[in-house]
């Protein structure tokens, strides 16, 4: 049986989130207070996924499987921390992977096809390059696509125009 890359990524992401939730639950049960210092951040991207996708998946799951999804349970868990951000392209109503990833990884709007380079040509330092300057900081970039794909590249590199443009 062959597993589609998106299905594998969803399962892996859910496993990681579930493990994280278990650690939080264990800390709550043992009465230990969380550390004052952040020990790490895991940023997971499901490329092409919006809040509407979770809503539709929940409705579809209830219709076909007669039960909800783990994503929906996590989304509605008050102990889970979640956030939304605007990752729109600087030059188009339709945002490509390069512009979206630059918004996540570099915190700036860029034109479609650029990775961490603003429309006026300013190079934006992606988060991986900022974090690696801190002693003792460990950084990893895990992807099911090639590392040079626009989505993972937005967290670690800067390119004024992608090759396919």
Same domain, 14 and 66: yes
CA-to-CA distance for 128 and 107, rounded, in angstroms? 12
Neighbours of 79 (CB within 10 A): 9
Q: Each residue of 36-95: pLDDT tens digit? A: 776 667 777 776 677 788 888 899 999 999 999 988 888 888 877 777 777 889 999 999
Task: Identify the domain boundary among 75, 103, 128.
Answer: 75
Q: Is the pLDDT of residue 11 over 70?
A: no
Which residues constitute the domain of residue 16? 5-75
Residue 23 lies in a domain: yes
Residue 68 lies in a domain: yes
Rg (CA), the chain: 18
Same domain, 63 and 123: no
Same domain, 54 and 114: no
CA-to-CA distance for 37 and 100, rounded, in angstroms? 29
- Domains contained in the chain, number: 2
pTM (2 d.p.): 0.61
Same domain, 147 and 91: yes
The 3-class SS string of 49-110 reads: CCHHHHHHHHHHHHHHCCCCCHHHHHHCCCCCCCCCCCCCCCCCCCCCHHHHHHHHHHCCCC
Q: Each residue of 101-148: pLDDT tens digit? A: 999 889 999 999 999 999 999 999 998 888 888 887 888 888 888 888
């Amino acid at each position: 049986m062959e597993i589609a890359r998106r299905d594998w990524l969803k399962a892996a992401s859910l496993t990681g989130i579930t493990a994280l939730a278990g650690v939080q639950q264990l800390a709550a049960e043992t009465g230990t207070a969380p550390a004052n210092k952040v020990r790490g951040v895991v940023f997971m991207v499901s490329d092409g996924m919006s809040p509407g996708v979770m809503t539709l998946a929940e409705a579809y799951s209830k219709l076909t499987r007669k039960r909800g999804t783990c994503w929906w349970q996590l989304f509605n868990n008050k102990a889970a921390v979640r956030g939304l951000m605007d990752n729109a392209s600087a030059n188009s109503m339709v945002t490509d992977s390069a512009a979206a990833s630059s918004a996540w990884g570099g915190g700036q709007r860029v034109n479609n096809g650029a990775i961490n380079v603003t429309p006026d040509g300013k190079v934006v330092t992606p988060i991986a390059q900022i974090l690696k300057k801190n002693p003792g900081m460990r950084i990893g970039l895990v992807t099911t696509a090639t590392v040079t794909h626009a989505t993972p590249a937005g967290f670690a590199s800067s390119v004024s125009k992608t090759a396919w443009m």
